[in-house]
């Protein structure tokens, strides 16, 4: 009897979980670095930006210059999203994801090796800014390619959960950055931390990036992506068709829908350490612990929010998050400012603040992916995300620090986050209730 020949098993790289892991690990590396930069903003300001850089702006000048460098990286992200997004839509997700993780890892590692102003003089801040620009380019390509890969590889009815892994690894990256900074601040003396300890978290990006590169080199394109992206593919009635005008309108609408996510996320999760130190007089360790609590709440809510959006839709979950921030940002900040508030109460408030951002970040990637056809998905969702983050996230530290110094008001962070989420709520209200049910176009 002739033995039967079993069909070969699909390679591991084609399995949804492998695609999920490979797509999300780059986000972890990227946001780990951004978290570290936010936590060490005051140290970086002292090493790379002299008081002369802030002449006329008072003692906050170096910190403002540091956040200006931070913001500049975000304004390179739309260029990266456009460049790498077009490549991802034309030649595939895998080569672009390999390229951007290499670029991000190299730039981040080099920040840990940079000479400071005491050694390199005026060249030091320019070198830092150049590396931040390279990070911005790579980060711009990372989001579109990773979200497209994860949502296109998701089993039916699980796009929200799979897309939420992008945001979840963002939370893990920010948490790892804050945790690493807090650990170093605990085990090192202030002098050692200021002298060389701040470099360690940036250098750790090298082994992390190599692990991400190994995962991504084994990827193949998501099943059916090539045929879905073929020119001339139709779209259901009422859906956005892959024309330049329709894509541009979808990008603008996408920016509106994630404005609150961008602004509130950076206000609560990245800018908070420097705000607590420079405005409320908290110690470095206290500020890092507070940020860790906020990131824990953020991480805990993302996957449940993405999963819930697969069941009831993206609109109710994201609207709940936007309205919660708009209504409660100011009371929460007042609670943190009140010296009579107990430590457990402050910790609980920070966890809740992070959790509200998670309600936006969990369904957000899938919501964006569902707005664009496959042939322009990398470009469209990447540009929308990059522009929203460039304006409302990258500038958060710069705007909050500058306005707080000019007005003397300690409520600026709450106004910033609440205002952005109010605008976002109006755009989110236009979501269709059944967008999560059909297949990706």
pLDDT, tens only, 187-203: 988 889 889 999 999 99
pLDDT of residue 339: 82
What structural domains and CATH numbers belong to the chain? 14-221+243-428 (1.20.1250.20)
pLDDT of residue 161: 93
Q: How far apart are CA 189 and CA 193, in angstroms?
A: 6
Q: How far apart are CA 38 and CA 25, in angstroms?
A: 20
Whether 232 contacts 434, CB under 8 Å: no
Averaged confidence pLDDT in the chain: 82
- The mean pLDDT of 221-250, rounded to a whole number, is 58
pLDDT at 139 over 90: no
pLDDT at 323 over 90: yes
- Lowest mean pLDDT segment, chosen from 16-25, 216-225, 387-396, 405-414: 216-225
Supply the DSSP string of 15-44, one letter for each residue.
SHHHHHHHHHHHHHHHHHHHHHHHHTHHHH
Whether 148 contacts 163, CB under 8 Å: no
Give the three-state DSSP class for 171: helix
- The mean pLDDT of 65-92, rounded to a whole number, is 81
pLDDT at 25 over 50: yes
- Lowest mean pLDDT segment, chosen from 41-55, 160-174, 384-398: 41-55
- The mean pLDDT of 226-239, rounded to a whole number, is 42
pLDDT category of residue 247 using cuts at 50, 70 and 90: confident
pTM of the model: 0.79
pLDDT category of residue 385 using cuts at 50, 70 and 90: very high
pLDDT of residue 327: 95
pLDDT of residue 57: 40
pLDDT tens string 110-134:
999 999 888 888 888 889 889 988 9
Q: How far apart are CA 410 and CA 6, in angstroms?
A: 68
The two structure tokens encoding residue 129: 């800014």
Q: How far apart are CA 235 and CA 229, in angstroms?
A: 11
- The mean pLDDT of 39-64, rounded to a whole number, is 63
- The mean pLDDT of 146-166, rounded to a whole number, is 88
pLDDT at 420 over 90: yes
- The mean pLDDT of 161-186, rounded to a whole number, is 86
- Lowest mean pLDDT segment, chosen from 187-201, 234-248, 294-308, 368-382: 234-248
Helices (H), 50-158: 61-75, 77-91, 93-111, 117-120, 123-153
Q: In the chain, pLDDT over 90 holds for what percent of residues?
A: 30
Q: How far apart are CA 406 and CA 423, in angstroms?
A: 25
CA count, 13 A, side-chain hemisphere, 430: 13
pLDDT at 324 over 60: yes
Q: How far apart are CA 93 and CA 89, in angstroms?
A: 7
Q: How far apart are CA 384 and CA 257, in angstroms?
A: 10
The label of the residue with tokens 């460039």 reads: 390
pLDDT at 4 over 60: no
H or E segment and range at residue 287? helix 284-312
pLDDT at 326 over 90: yes
pLDDT of residue 232: 41
pLDDT of residue 238: 44
Whether 47 contacts 117, CB under 8 Å: yes
pLDDT category of residue 416 using cuts at 50, 70 and 90: very high
Q: How far apart are CA 149 and CA 166, in angstroms?
A: 10
Q: How far apart are CA 212 and CA 295, in angstroms?
A: 22
Whether 405 contacts 58, CB under 8 Å: yes
Supply the DSSP string of 244-262, one letter for each residue.
HHHHHHHHHHHHHHHHHHH
The residue with greater pLDDT, 280 or 88, is 88
pLDDT of residue 237: 41
Nearest to 151 by CA among 230, 224, 78: 224
- The mean pLDDT of 84-101, rounded to a whole number, is 88
pLDDT category of residue 242 using cuts at 50, 70 and 90: low
Q: How far apart are CA 7 and CA 24, in angstroms?
A: 30
pLDDT category of residue 3 using cuts at 50, 70 and 90: very low
Q: How far apart are CA 109 and CA 105, in angstroms?
A: 6
pLDDT at 55 over 50: no
Whether 333 contacts 361, CB under 8 Å: no
CB-based burial of residue 106 (10 Å sphere; 0-12 exposed, 13-18 middle, 19+ buried)?
A: middle
The two structure tokens encoding residue 103: 């670029």
- Lowest mean pLDDT segment, chosen from 38-42, 104-108, 429-433: 38-42
Q: How far is CA 389 from the centre of its chain?
A: 8
pLDDT at 60 over 60: no
pLDDT category of residue 435 using cuts at 50, 70 and 90: confident
């Amino acid at each position: 009897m002739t033995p039967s020949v079993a069909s070969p098993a699909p390679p591991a790289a084609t399995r949804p979980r492998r695609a999920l892991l490979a797509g999300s690990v780059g986000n972890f590396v990227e946001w780990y670095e951004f978290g570290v930069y936010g936590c060490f903003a005051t140290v970086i300001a002292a090493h790379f930006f002299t008081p002369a850089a802030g002449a006329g702006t008072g003692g906050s000048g170096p910190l403002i210059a540091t956040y200006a460098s931070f913001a500049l990286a975000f304004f390179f992200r739309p260029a990266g999203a456009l460049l790498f997004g077009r490549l991802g839509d034309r030649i595939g997700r895998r080569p672009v994801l390999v390229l951007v993780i290499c670029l991000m890892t190299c730039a981040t590692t080099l920040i840990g090796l940079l000479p400071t102003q005491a050694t390199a003089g005026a060249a030091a801040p320019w070198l830092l800014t150049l590396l931040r620009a390279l990070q911005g380019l790579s980060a711009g390509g990372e989001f579109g390619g990773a979200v497209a890969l994860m949502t296109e590889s998701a089993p039916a009815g699980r796009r929200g959960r799979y897309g939420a892994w992008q945001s979840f690894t963002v939370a893990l990256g920010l948490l790892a950055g804050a945790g690493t900074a807090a650990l170093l601040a605990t085990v090192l003396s202030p002098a050692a931390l200021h002298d060389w300890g701040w470099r360690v978290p940036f250098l750790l990006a090298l082994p992390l990036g190599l692990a991400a590169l190994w995962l991504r080199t084994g990827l193949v394109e998501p099943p059916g992506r090539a045929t879905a992206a073929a020119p001339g593919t139709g779209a259901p009635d009422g859906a956005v068709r892959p024309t330049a005008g329709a894509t541009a309108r979808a990008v603008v609408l996408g920016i509106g829908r994630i404005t609150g996510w961008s602004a509130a996320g950076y206000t609560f999760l990245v800018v908070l350490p420097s705000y607590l130190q420079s405005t409320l007089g908290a110690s470095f360790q206290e500020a890092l612990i507070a940020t860790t609590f906020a990131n824990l709440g953020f991480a805990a809510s993302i996957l449940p929010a993405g999963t819930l959006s697969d069941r009831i839709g993206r609109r109710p979950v994201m609207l709940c998050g936007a309205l919660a921030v708009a209504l409660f940002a100011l009371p929460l900040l007042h609670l943190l400012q009140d010296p009579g508030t107990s430590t457990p109460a402050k910790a609980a408030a920070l966890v809740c603040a992070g959790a509200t951002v998670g309600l936006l970040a969990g369904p957000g990637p899938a919501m964006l992916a569902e707005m664009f056809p496959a042939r322009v998905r990398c470009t469209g969702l990447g540009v929308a995300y990059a522009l929203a983050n460039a304006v409302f996230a990258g500038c958060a530290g710069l705007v909050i620090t500058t306005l707080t110094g000019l007005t003397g008001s300690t409520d600026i962070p709450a106004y910033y986050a609440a205002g952005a989420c109010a605008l976002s709520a109006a755009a989110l209200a236009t979501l269709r209730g059944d967008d999560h049910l059909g297949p990706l176009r």
